[in-house]
Amino acid sequence: MIDSQTAQETTTPAEVSWKKLVAKYRQPSFSKASGQIVNTILAYVAVWVVMYFALQVSWWLVAPLIVLGGGLLIRTFIIFHDCGHGSFFKSREANDVTGFICGILTFTPYMHWRWEHSVHHASSGDLDRRGIGDIWTMTVAEYLAAPKRTRVLYRIARNPVVMFLVAPVLMLMVYQRFSARSARPRERHSVWAMNLAVLVMCAGLVYLFGFWNYLIIQLGISMIGGGMGVWLFYVQHQFEDVVWERKEGWDFAAAAMEGSSYYKLPKVLQWFSGNIGFHHIHHLSPKIPNYHLQDCHESHPLFSSVPPVTLRESWKTIHLKLWDEANRRLVRFRDIRGLPRAEV
């Protein structure tokens, strides 16, 4: 995989200075990575074991475990994500094996997702390179010029219920079962291999739990974990002061620091989300593992000067739907009422 950071960085003095600042945080820690394997992946498996025995007593005991499982699922995905960047372990083989295992648990094909995500990092914040690994975002001009069918579909896609409850489950269970048309053979084959592995896992759990019990538990965990994951990704690139540019004005470092948020979460949510709220740091240097992101953020005023998006403030982003190029800001649907399509 081509490191999107290597592909996009320049070598101006200003760029070199931040590269030096992040350099030491790019080094993986075997002890910290191993600790996360235990407190996340093994913990997630343990929750399923406890649910098996709890189910023999009462569904009331299972319900809170489903919530806990959803939280651990998103944390498992963060490990999967780091493995895709080659940052979790020093060894590429260890990253690939761990990533594949996490892919089974999160229903996500490792190689295929890694390829799509590298495209996201190489083009995030670029209006001319939208469409792969990002949330569907239209400009005001594009929306007003679009046919009615497209505008209706866009409104459905941007509806909070669809985006954060329905779409995550469809993404994990259906969308990830197929490869993109432009995928190379290795990525296509990774989807087939993952589908087989997921089928084996699901068959085993159905055998243990029974079909309907397993279905309810898995859907519950997927809705919680998947919904949290989509919400995090949404806030990371759809906040009030986000900056988007056309390709000719796009800059890698600026896109990271101004086009990705610092989502300041309460400590417990920061733990379950694997520090991914420090998304400006992650986009600036994707090789930094999740367990070093906070240290890097706090290491220099350049990083901590990014205004935080708090949990309370983040709820307001739900209403932001379109990018207004003229005013360089995200706007609500109601902000464009009365604008005639003929003016576009």
**338 domain residue, yes or no:** no
CA 5 vs CA 15, 204, 255, 285, 340: distances in Å = 12, 40, 12, 6, 41
φ, ψ of residue 70 to 5 degrees: the values are -65, -40
- Estimate to the nearest angstrom the gap between the alpha carbon of 37 and the chain centroid: 19
**141 domain residue, yes or no:** no
Question: Which residues, 6+ apart, have CB-to-CB distance to 128 below 8 Å?
Answer: 246, 247, 250
**336 domain residue, yes or no:** no
Q: What is the per-residue pLDDT for 3?
A: 44
CA-based torsion, 149, 152, 154, 156: positive or negative: negative
Domain that holds residue 300: 19-126+147-237+262-314
**254 domain residue, yes or no:** no
φ, ψ of residue 261 to 5 degrees: the values are -90, 160
**282 domain residue, yes or no:** yes
Tokens of 322: 């379109």
Neighbours of 169 (CB within 10 A): 18
Tokens of 211: 């079909």
Tokens of 198: 């997921």
**1 domain residue, yes or no:** no
pLDDT along the chain (344 residues), means of 10: 41 65 95 98 98 95 96 98 97 97 97 93 90 89 94 96 93 91 92 97 96 96 95 93 90 89 96 96 96 96 90 94 92 85 50
Crossing angle of helices 110-123 and 185-209, rounded to 10° = 120
Q: What is the per-residue pLDDT for 341?
A: 67
**301 domain residue, yes or no:** yes
Q: Which of 246, 304, 250 is nearest to 280 (CA)?
A: 304
**202 domain residue, yes or no:** yes
- Residue ranges with strand state E in 221-283: 262-264
Domain count, the chain: 1
What is the model's pTM?
Answer: 0.90
Angle (CA) 311-69-169 rounded to 5° is 75
Angle (CA) 323-153-219 rounded to 5° is 105
Tokens of 304: 């901590």
